[in-house]
Amino acid sequence: MTAVAQLSSVLEAGGPELARRLQGTEVRLSEVAESHGAELAGHASGTLAAGGKRLRPILVFLCGGTGAEGPLAAAVAVELLHMATLVHDDVLDQASLRRGRPTVLATGGRHAATATGDFLFSRAFAELAATRSAAAVRALSAASSALARGELMQRADAWSVDVTSERYLERCELKTASLFSQACRLGAILGDASKASRDALGGFGRRVGLAFQILDDVLDVSGPAERTGKHRGTDLLDGTVTLPLIVARGRDAELERMDLRAAVTDPAQADALCERIAATGALGVARSEALGHVAEAKAGLVDVELPPGRRKALDLVADGVVERYA
Residue 167's alpha-carbon distances to 214, 241, 243, 287, 326, in angstroms, are 13, 10, 10, 18, 26
Please say if the pLDDT value at position 38 is more than 80: no
Most confident of 51-55, 183-187, 229-233, 255-259: 183-187
How large a percentage of the chain has pLDDT more than 70?
A: 92
Integer distance in angstroms from the first to the last C-alpha of the chain? 8
pLDDT band at 2 (very low <50, low <70, confident <90, very high): low
Q: Hey, what CATH class is 16-132 in?
A: mainly alpha
Q: Tell me, what's the pLDDT at 44? A: 76
> At residue 103, does pLDDT exceed 90?
no
Q: What is the pLDDT of residue 5?
A: 65
pLDDT of residue 226: 60
Is the Cα dihedral 310, 315, 320, 326 positive or negative?
negative
Residue 101: phi, psi to the nearest 5?
Answer: -110, 150
CB atoms within 10 A of CB 46: 19
Q: What is the CATH number of domain 136-301?
A: 1.10.600.10
pLDDT at 227: 62
CA distances from 193 to 127, 142, 190, 220 (A): 21, 19, 8, 37
Give me the pLDDT at residue 289, please: 96
- Res 325: pLDDT: 60
Q: Is the pLDDT of residue 50 over 80?
A: no
Q: What does pLDDT average to over the chain?
A: 89
CA distances (Å), origin 225, targets 22, 64, 210, 233: 28, 36, 23, 10
The residue ranking higher by pLDDT, 303 or 225, is 303
For residue range 119-148, what is the model confidence (pLDDT) as tens digits? 899 999 999 999 999 999 999 999 999 999
Taking the domains of the chain in order of start, what are their residue ranges?
A: 16-132, 136-301
Question: Would you place residue 107 in the very low, low, confident or very high pLDDT band (cuts 50, 70, 90)?
Answer: confident
Residue 9 has pLDDT above 80, yes or no: yes
Q: What is the pLDDT of residue 245?
A: 97
Q: Which residue has the higher pLDDT, 28 or 67?
A: 28
Phi-psi region of 15 (alpha: psi -120 to 50; beta: other; left: phi over 0): left
Return d(Cα 48, Cα 33) in angstroms, integer.
8
Do domains 16-132 and 136-301 share one topology? The answer is: yes
Q: Where does residue 40 fall: left (phi above 0), alpha (psi -120 to 50 degrees), or beta otherwise?
A: alpha
CA–CA distance, 210 with 170 (Å, rounded to integer): 10
pLDDT for 161 equals 87
Q: CA torsion sign, 89 to 95 to 96 to 99?
A: negative
Query: pLDDT at position 106, please?
Result: 82
pLDDT of residue 229: 61
